[in-house]
Structure 1
């Protein structure tokens, strides 16, 4: 626990705090989701002034809990949204981006969290106990729009999004795996291959994303140096990262706070310094690994430290089981106000 990077003030599901981790009920799972989703959405609607009746798209990014009716249906019912609202439960921001192509001047909400309570491991296998140390309760809700009239109010503008999946690689596929132990306790096995799988998926993703965001001069410099070194058979210096000056086109790095090993491996792969990795490390320390919602805690830390200025670009790096890497680049449009997540201000 001491070396995990997790602090002592993170949040656990109610059934775990009550000592019922071995007997979580369906209602426990629903209550955990409702607390996070409805609390953050109430804050979101109050802060933006957007009415639930104006929402045209609802996306819930939760991979370990799929009730019937769905989580998006619960949101639609709770806020009595209109009957033509489009609802989905996966892919989040990129899915909204695709739907916006056919839904003009629309509002979308994306809820990012994870169901931890029913998936708490109660056995004794060490490789499966690690998930109990890393994963914590938390989440956030975001409002997205393609309505041009809101450009002056937007905090961030999505400029680029690239998705990569390396599930065909057996080592990467098995690095984060949900299964039962020998006596039937369900949980997640996190292997030593996990940081390496993350680095591999990230490298493949950035080969597509970086040419879209870095200046042409930097791409040309890298290309010339790469082929020159290849011709004279000069090895890359140890710890040199990707060989590109990422900061020529990116100002901030929002790294998925999945664990200390993941953050360190991403930092090593991209040759990032401690200042670049501080937001991810501090989000991990304060909130733990809250799955897809964790990136927004990292962003909240950047805002709280007043690191973000109008015009800055943010590379958001998301890693997940499968193994997948979904990265996007945001441009800061206005000064960021306080970001509400799961009822706590960060």
Structure 2
């Protein structure tokens, strides 16, 4: 970045981590291990079985090493090893692929949706790769699937306001999901694990979670919005909350990217009418985003969210293909899922060329797969009573 292009932010390249084949785990094996570990009731195991059959995840997704053991006794050591495998594996590929030297990286932003430790993940990376002593680092944790967007927004703002990053420095963004073991503090961990084994709404997120040289992308309009209540429980309100969050973001971005004045005018008239005449219950005008967007890559979340999003925005099956295939193959990788979707698009030859580091390279010809229609995911249960201290 230089002074002439200070308002433009480019992505040199990206990579996605692919766990070793030994960590592939079918849904049947997940249930077998869950029963073997002895932490779940039969009622909960039945719920897990029904959920996994309908959640859109295939039989080639990955599971943490610690969960694959005969006995499930997670520890901080296991969590650290899982994070190191994903982060170091990705960074080794990225640095090798781009040829960027670590002493030319001036900003480091790391986000992980739940895992928080001391020393921080930033410190772990800086020490491993011997980054320069004056590197500006930020460690973002506890923001769930939205952490990636926040990290991108932070990186853009840093590149715009920190004038000292006007040399050949680059910004490194590391995005990772949550390790299988969650540690906040000892008392909360005991409480959370009891909820995990007894409350269905705590099971859903646990099951789903699984510079301008040759730049491949340019960042234009990062937008984010916070809605909902703090926590990791999911209940029947998830669909409404997801759409309620996405709709205002599309409203904001729509006026910036809609290609024709006609679309913008129709959009504006509809927006004003709904604000001034709420009693008429005017339906929101859904612009034809395909005129402005080549690839629509929503966070994979889960099958119900993708289904409702597709219906609300009137998106075709082809448009939703990268998201559904990413959910099927890799599950919900939290804040990094969009990058797996982008890698899918590249592997299909629909955008920039892909290389050997693409996690889809060896099997892209097998996709898309036909997803058998199934019943809705069972999220029609009451919200958890998280204030119940008797657990």
Q: Normalising by structure 1, what TM-score?
A: 0.75
Q: Which runs of 5+ in 1 are unaligned?
A: 137-144, 167-171, 179-188, 309-333
Partners of 2:113 and 2:335 within 8 A in 1: no
1:215 matched to 2:265? The reply is no
SS in 1 for 2:117: coil
CA–CA distance in structure 2, aligned partners of residues 131 and 226 of structure 1: 34
SS in 1 for 2:223: strand
Aligned-residue offset at 1:340: 4.1
Q: Would you tell me which structure has more helix in proportion to its own residues?
A: 2
* Residue aligning to 2:225: 164
**Does residue 253 of structure 2 align to residue 192 of structure 1?**
no
Shift of 1:129: 2.0
Correspondence for 1:32: 82
The residue matched to 2:87 in structure 1 has which SS? helix
Instruction: Quote how far apart the aligned CAs of 1:335 are.
Output: 3.8
Change (3 A) 1:19 1:214: farther
Residue matched to 1:87 = 137
Aligned equivalent of 2:67? 16
Distance 1:339 1:272, change over 3 A: farther
By percentage of residues, which structure has more strand? Answer: 1
Q: Does 1:291 align with 2:291?
A: no
CA deviations over 1:27-80 (Å, ceiling 9, x no partner): 111101000000010000111111122111111110311111100110000001
Would you say the 8 A contact 1:255–1:280 is kept in 2? yes
Structure 2 portions without partners, runs of 5+: 1-51, 141-149, 183-191, 365-391
Residues 300-337 of structure 1: per-residue CA shift (max 9 Å, x gap): 111111122xxxxxxxxxxxxxxxxxxxxxxxxx5454
Partner-residue secondary structure (3-state), 1:164:
coil
Task: State the Cα distance separating 1:279 from its structure 2 match.
Answer: 0.6
1:32/1:115 contact within 8 Å kept: no
- Offset of 1:244 from its aligned partner? 1.0
Query: Would the alpha carbon gap of residues 47 and 248 (structure 1) be closer, same or farther in structure 2, given more than 3 Å must change?
Result: same
Taking a change above 3 Å as real, the CA distance of residues 108 and 342 of structure 1, as seen in their structure-2 partners, is farther
Residues 134-283 of structure 1 aligned to structure 2 (within 5 Å): 134-136=208-210, 145=211, 148=212, 150=213, 153-166=214-227, 172-173=228-229, 177-178=231-232, 189-217=233-261, 218-224=263-269, 242-283=285-326
Deviation for aligned residue 1:85? 0.6
Distance 2:288 2:69 in 1: 49
**Cα distance in 1 for residues equivalent to 2:125 and 2:112:** 13
| SS in structure 2 of the partner of residue 252 of structure 1 | coil
Structure 1: how far apart are the matches of 2:260 and 2:316? 24
1:77 aligned partner: 127
Partner of 1:132: 206
Q: In 2, distance between residues paired with 1:69 and 1:342? A: 33
**Shift in Å, 1:111:** 1.3
Correspondence 1:49 to 2:111: no
**Offset at 1:93?**
1.1
Q: Are positions 1:113 and 2:176 aligned together?
A: yes
Q: 1:124 to 1:297 in 2, by over 3 A?
A: same
Provide the secondary structure at the position in 1 that maps to 2:220. Answer: strand
User: Secondary structure at the residue paired with 1:58?
Assistant: strand
Shift in alpha-carbon separation, 1:212–1:259, aligned structure 2, 3 A: same
Q: Which residue of 1 aligns with 2:110?
A: 60
Measure the CA separation in 2 of the matches of 1:292 and 1:343.
Answer: 22
2: distance between equivalents of 1:7 and 1:129? 18
Choose the corresponding residue for 1:7, options 46, 53, 58: 58
Q: TM-score, normalised by structure 2?
A: 0.67
Report the aligned-residue RMSD: 2.7
Give the secondary-structure state (helix, strand or coil) at the position aligned to 2:181: helix
1:99 aligns with 2:173: no
Work out which of the two has the higher radius of gyration on C-alpha atoms and give 1 or 2: 2
CA shift for structure 1 position 193: 0.6
Identify if the C-alpha distance between structure 1 residues 17 and 31 changes in structure 2 by more than 3 Å, giving closer, same or farther: same
Distance in 2 (alpha carbons) for counterparts of 1:344 and 1:59: 30
Question: Using a 3 Å threshold, how does the CA distance of structure 1 residues 108 and 343 change in structure 2: closer, same or farther?
Answer: farther
Give yes or no for contact 1:59–1:88 (8 Å, CA) kept in 2: yes
